[in-house]
């Protein structure tokens, strides 16, 4: 397996553009940037920019690129990559990140390794608040997921990025690089196929990934999971020769607020065949991403520790392989989980809520005051919200609002879904406390209502990332595959004060 990504070294330089030494000067250009703002660059490229703009060859739409060689003398760099921002009024966190990613993708494709980022007017003055987004974007595009080729093609990564600015952006830039690194680490795990990432291997890799300075990790095996009475996690794991694991990671900095512990809970199904309620063959291979929620919460915890966020946080990831083996759960089986509640498993493909029920309960036992779980939980959420939006659920509105705000700051799309009490009737069982699969109507909502039963009292929220966890078509700003969605939202959540 070859390495999938590199985080470029970030430099900050206050110098005039001709003095900047790099393979490529990347110059973002808004559709409404005035001619004088770009005059120096236009002159340096022998008016190629203004001609391209006049001919409509370069418009500059978001993420549209235009190469121009530098013909002026006295410039250290040899070429400019102009990159479109679209109208300034439409600028958003996601737009900035995408533009930065597109620059790295374009530069790597030409096998250049040293990139400088210079605002169109050459001063870089308005870069200050965006250096984190830029550096996150640079990291995300410095990624090549083709890690299992026996004869890998030579890989080109951007090694150095220089932010040309007079603003003090170093700390902001570093935090963006930390978040980009965390997201890439999660993408690598999620892209791994099921035979390369069993629950045991996931737990090993997760422990290495999240076990940075300040985090302690514990991996529980089957006897330890049995001792916790996690009958739902064990039940889902029974159908597979690969035994389940429970991953618990703690970040407890000395300066943390005393009365708050953020509990991050993730679904870690390393492959979801559906079990005896088996899925159709078509597209089943995507179900290797069914541990994306687990990777997301581990990545967020890692980033919070590296950012030295003053908050106590724990991550609990339940991991199993959902298989139809001879000891597998059968439709109609009844399980008792760690909470003591009993569940009639009318569909073995609704396995995520089973393992999450035990993990949520455990996180509460460990002292989490504010819970949020992340899971590729339901196809119904894709039907409701499509592939780009995370379904957000929760009954404690201040907590849900805190998450919505964090997502807005991070530039990720979440949409709150209702938990009206009437929906709960669908979970009734004749012989146990609940069934696990109440049918098609409001499937994402009833799944969330099932989880709520295991979250104890106190704020809890649930993110269904079934749509946005995976990205089908490669784009200049994001390769096909795992996306790492919601990591930056959770990091924003953990960095801000937690509401009571
Ligand atoms: N992992 C799937 C959900 C999923 C489906 C994620 C498609 C991404 C794409 C989950 O375990 C599942 O199978 N859910 C069932 C629930 C149903 C049986 C109540 C579903 O959505 O069909
Ligand atoms: Mn399933
Ligand atoms: Zn699943």
Asked if 211 and 173 touch (Cβ cutoff 8 Å), the reply is: no
Q: How far is CA 420 from CA 74, 353, 367, 371, 489, in A?
A: 68, 19, 28, 20, 25
Residues contacting 487, CB < 8 A, separation 6+: 179, 182, 183, 186, 296, 299, 300, 303
Burial of 73 (0-12, 13-18, 19+ CB in 10 A): exposed
The whole-angstrom distance between residue 270's C-alpha and the CA centroid of its chain comes to 17
pLDDT in tens, 120-176: 654 444 545 689 999 999 999 999 999 999 987 888 999 999 999 999 999 999 999
Nearest to 451 by CA among 443, 442, 461: 461
Which sequence spans correspond to the domains of the chain?
9-179, 192-495
Which ligand has the shortest distance to the CA of 275?
2
Which residue of 379, 436, 440, 445 sits with most ligand 1 atoms within 8 Å of its CB, as the best mutation to test the pocket?
379
Question: Residue 123's pLDDT is what?
Answer: 42
Q: Tokens 């379904």 correspond to what residue?
A: 391
Burial of 409 (0-12, 13-18, 19+ CB in 10 A): middle
pLDDT in tens, 418-431: 999 999 999 999 99
127 lines ligand 1 (CB under 6 A): no
Tokens encoding 432: 């146990």
Atom of ligand 1 nearest to the CA of 381: 21
pLDDT in tens, 74-108: 999 999 999 999 998 888 999 999 999 999 999 99
> If residue 114 lies in a helix (H) or strand (E), which one and from where to where?
strand 114-118
Question: Residue 31's pLDDT is what?
Answer: 85
Instruction: Give percent of the chain above pLDDT 70.
Output: 98
Q: What is the mean pLDDT of residues 188-203?
A: 98
Q: What is the mean pLDDT of residues 370-388?
A: 98
381 lines ligand 1 (CB under 6 A): no
Which ligand has the shortest distance to the CA of 270?
3
Residues contacting 296, CB < 8 A, separation 6+: 186, 266, 374, 465, 484, 485, 486, 487, 490
Q: CA 487, CA 299: separation in Å to the nearest integer?
A: 7
Q: What is the layout of strands, in order, in the sheet containing 333-336? A: 333-336, 342-345, 434-435
pLDDT in tens, 282-325: 999 999 999 999 999 999 999 999 999 999 999 999 999 999 99
Q: CA 2, CA 198: separation in Å to the nearest integer?
A: 19
Q: Is the pTM of this model over 0.85?
A: yes
Residues annotated as part of the active site: 279, 353
Question: Residue 129's pLDDT is what?
Answer: 63
Q: How would DSSP label each residue in 262-273?
A: EEEEEEEEEEE-
Question: Residue 119's pLDDT is what?
Answer: 80
The CATH number, out of the four listed (3.20.20.140, 3.40.50.450, 3.40.190.10, 3.40.630.10), of the domain defined by the range 192-495:
3.40.630.10
Confidence of residue 73 (pLDDT cuts 50, 70, 90): very high
Query: Whose CA is closest to atom 19 on ligand 1?
Result: 437
Query: Whose CA is closest to atom 7 on ligand 1?
Result: 379
Q: CA 260, CA 357: separation in Å to the nearest integer?
A: 22
Neighbours of ion ligand 3 (CB under 5 A): 269, 272, 290, 352
Q: CA 282, CA 274: separation in Å to the nearest integer?
A: 13
Q: What is the mean pLDDT of residues 447-463?
A: 98
State the first-to-last Cα distance of the chain, in angstroms, to the nearest integer. Answer: 46
Q: How far is CA 42 from CA 26, 38, 100, in A?
A: 13, 6, 21
pLDDT in tens, 19-48: 999 999 999 998 887 777 789 999 999 999
Helix locations, 11-126, DSSP H: 35-44, 48-55, 93-109
Q: Tell me what the pLDDT averaged over the chain comes to.
A: 95
Checking 194-199 for CB contacts under 8 A at 24+ apart, the result is 194/270, 194/271, 194/287, 194/288, 194/321, 196/1, 196/148, 197/270, 197/288, 197/291, 198/242, 198/270, 198/321, 199/237, 199/242, 199/243, 199/244, 199/245, 199/268, 199/270, 199/319, 199/320, 199/321
Query: Whose CA is closest to atom 5 on ligand 1?
Result: 379
What stretches of 353-399 adopt beta strand conformation (E)?
370-375, 390-394
Residues contacting 154, CB < 8 A, separation 6+: none
Residue range 9-179, CATH number: 3.40.220.10
Atom of ligand 1 nearest to the CA of 352: 11
Confidence of residue 410 (pLDDT cuts 50, 70, 90): very high
Helix locations, 145-218, DSSP H: 170-191, 199-210
Question: Residue 120's pLDDT is what?
Answer: 64
Q: CA 481, CA 128: separation in Å to the nearest integer?
A: 31
Confidence of residue 380 (pLDDT cuts 50, 70, 90): very high
Q: Tokens 């791994």 correspond to what residue?
A: 192
Q: CA 246, CA 248: separation in Å to the nearest integer?
A: 7
Question: Residue 125's pLDDT is what?
Answer: 43
């Amino acid at each position: 397996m070859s390495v999938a990504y590199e985080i470029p070294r970030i430099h900050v330089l206050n110098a005039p553009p001709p003095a900047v030494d790099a393979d490529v000067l990347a110059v973002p250009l808004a559709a409404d940037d005035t001619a004088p703002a770009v005059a120096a660059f236009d002159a340096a490229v022998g008016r190629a920019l203004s001609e391209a703009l006049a001919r409509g060859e370069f418009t500059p739409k978001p993420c549209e690129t235009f190469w121009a060689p530098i013909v002026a003398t006295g410039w250290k760099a040899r070429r400019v990559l102009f990159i479109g921002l679209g109208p300034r009024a439409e600028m958003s966190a996601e737009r900035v990140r995408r533009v930065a990613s597109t620059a790295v993708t374009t530069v790597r494709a030409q096998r250049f390794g040293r990139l400088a980022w210079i605002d169109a007017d050459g001063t870089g003055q308005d870069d200050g608040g965006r250096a984190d987004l830029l550096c996150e974007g640079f990291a995300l595009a410095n990624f090549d997921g083709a890690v299992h080729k026996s004869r890998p093609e030579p890989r080109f990564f951007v090694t150095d990025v220089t932010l040309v600015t007079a603003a003090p952006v170093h700390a902001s830039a570093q935090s963006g690089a930390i978040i980009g690194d965390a997201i890439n680490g999660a993408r690598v795990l999620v892209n791994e196929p099921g035979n390369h990432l069993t629950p045991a291997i996931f737990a090993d890799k997760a422990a290495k990934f999240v076990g940075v300075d300040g985090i302690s990790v514990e991996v529980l095996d089957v006897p330890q999971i049995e001792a916790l009475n996690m009958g739902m996690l064990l039940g889902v794991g029974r159908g597979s020769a690969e035994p389940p694991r429970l991953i618990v990671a703690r970040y407890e900095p000395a300066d943390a607020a005393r009365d708050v512990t953020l509990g991050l809970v993730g679904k870690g199904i390393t492959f979801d065949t559906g079990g005896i309620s088996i899925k159709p063959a078509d597209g089943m291979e995507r179900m290797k991403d069914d541990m994306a929620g687990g990777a997301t919460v581990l990545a967020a915890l890692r980033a919070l520790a590296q950012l030295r966020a003053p908050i106590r946080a724990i991550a609990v990831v339940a991991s199993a392989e959902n298989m139809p083996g001879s000891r597998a759960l059968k439709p109609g089986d009844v399980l008792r989980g760690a909470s003591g509640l009993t569940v009639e498993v009318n569909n073995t493909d609704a396995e995520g809520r089973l393992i999450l029920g035990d993990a949520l309960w455990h996180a509460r036992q460990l002292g989490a005051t504010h819970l949020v779980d992340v899971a590729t939980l339901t196809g119904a959420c894709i039907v409701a919200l499509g592939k780009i939006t995370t379904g957000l659920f929760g009954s404690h509105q201040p907590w849900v609002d805190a998450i919505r705000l964090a997502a807005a700051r991070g530039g990720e799309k979440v949409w709150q879904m209702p938990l009206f009490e009437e929906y709960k009737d669908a979970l009734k069982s004749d012989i146990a406390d609940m069934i696990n699969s109440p049918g098609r109507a409001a499937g994402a909502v009833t799944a969330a209502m099932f989880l709520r039963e295991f979250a104890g009292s106190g704020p809890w929220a649930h993110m269904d990332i079934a749509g946005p966890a995976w990205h089908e078509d490669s784009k200049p700003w994001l390769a096909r595959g795992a996306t790492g969605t919601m990591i930056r939202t959770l990091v924003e959540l953990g960095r801000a004060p937690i509401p009571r």
